[in-house]
Every structure is written in structure tokens, then in C-alpha cells.
A = this chain, B = another copy of it.
Amino acid sequence: MDIREFRGWLFDIEGVLLDGPAVLQPNIDFVRALIERHVPVLFVTNTVMRSKDELMKRFTLAGLPISIDQIVTPIDVACEWLIQRHIKKIHVVAPKPIQNAFSLFQLDESGEALIIGDFGTNWQYRELNHAFQWMMLHPDWPVLALGGGRYYRRQQQWFLDLGAFTQALSWAANKTIQNCGKPDRLIFETAVRKLGFKASEVVMVGDDYASDVNAAIAAGCHGILVRSGKYRVRDENRLVKEAMCIDSLSSFSSF
């Protein structure tokens, strides 16, 4: 497929446009070129620990001024999911800044849905069991998680990610938890709806062959793996056959 046929583009942020403190300038330049041609662009990230304001600042410094509405996180997905179901009162088990991101809703332990956010390395029995007790008391009410990753790697060490904790809760309470982040199709569907196109007209670019590329394709989009960020040799062998794989978005510079 010719990349000019994609009507909308979705980009993972970490590992594709930003990499820790560094900026992946060739990729940033490609996104700027898309925007200059008025091609609709959104940024799809599972990161909710860092605020959108912080991300915006870093994009601006990298020479890519974007609007806050162009960033789609699991929090946006959860909000839209709740609004569609007319749920107004929710219980949020998450650190304070994430609770604040749900200011559209009334936050109350008697809420009709539970949102589970990430405490990062500060998870303790208390918070986890608090979520568990809510689930046992309200077995028929929905539970949403702001991410479902197994683990991440930082400074040569492995770290359990939010998905491990929601897996513990889901297993113990014998109840499905809806993941609002990648790789669940919900976040791609939310982004595609925001663009106003059909999934088949949209492409997702990411550095994670599973969570970004294969998952986007499973949600009906196209998918491109870039060899940066968390990409590791032979990841392309794990891609579904419809996926593309490139070294950098500058491969498309002549489009």
C-alpha cells in the first residue's frame, strides 16, 4: 500500500518521537511534514504517569507544536467509555494526579465503575486490596484499567507493569477487567473515531511489534514498526504479515 493512501496517522510517542531525554528528530520531522500537508495526526500512548502538558512542552522543544487534543491516553479512552454509558459517579484507585484527570466525573467510593491506575513502583497491598474489595462488593459493575502491560525495562532491569496487578485482581475476583490502553483494541478504536475515518484508512506507527503494530492491525488499522526505542533484532519476525517495518520515518521522506 502506498503511504499516501493513509488518511490519518497514529504515532506512539516513547521510542518513536521521544526516547527518554532524547528526541528522534528524523521521525519528528516526518510528522511535521504530515501536519504541514494537513494530514490528520494523533499521538497514542499508554503513559499516564507523565502529564500531557509535560509531553506538549517536549514536543514544542523538539520543534513540533501540537494541540493537547492530539494526544490519546488510556485516561481519554476511559472517559469516553464512561460517557458513552452515562456513568457519572466513579471510584478511582490511582495516585492523585491521575484521579485529578477524571474531574469530569464525581469521584466516590460508591461509584458505578472502578478505574485502576498505575502506582508504578509504589504499589502496596493496601491499594491493591482496596480495589479487590470494591470488586467483590460490586461483582456486576465494570472495572477499567489504565494500561495492561506485563513489564517494562529500565536501566537494564525488569519492572512489573500495571497489567501484572490487574491480572492478580482479575484472577482473584474471577472478573474481566477492561484494559483502556494498548494492546487492547479500545484505544485504537477511540483514536480512529476521533480522526473521523474508518480504521482501514488509518495507520499506527510504533516501536513495539506487539502492542503498537500487531495490536493496531488486529483493530483493523494498518501498522508500521520503526527500528528505534524498544525495538530488538528479529522483532520483525514477530509481526503479522500485513505489517510494514522501517528503520526510521525518514524512509518516507520522498513521499
Contact = CB atoms under 8 A, between A and B. Distances in A.
A122 B125 contact: yes
26 contacts: A122-B125, A123-B124, A123-B128, A124-B124, A124-B125, A129-B158, A132-B158, A132-B159, A136-B151, A150-B171, A150-B172, A150-B174, A151-B172, A151-B173, A160-B168, A160-B169, A161-B172, A163-B171, A164-B168, A164-B169, A164-B171, A164-B172, A165-B168, A167-B168, A167-B171, A167-B172
B133 A157 contact: yes
A121 interface: yes
Copies of this chain present in the complex amount to 2
B125 A160 contact: yes
Interface residues of A, number: 30
A170 to B, nearest CB: 9
3 tightest Cβ-Cβ pairs between the two chains A and B: A168-B168, A164-B172, A164-B168
Interface string A118-141: 011111111011001100100000
Contacts of A151: 132, 136, 172-173
Contacts of A124: 123-125
Given A132-B158, A167-B171, 17 more contacts: A122-B125, A124-B124, A124-B125, A125-B160, A129-B158, A129-B159, A129-B160, A150-B171, A150-B172, A160-B168, A160-B169, A160-B172, A163-B171, A163-B172, A165-B168, A167-B168, A167-B172
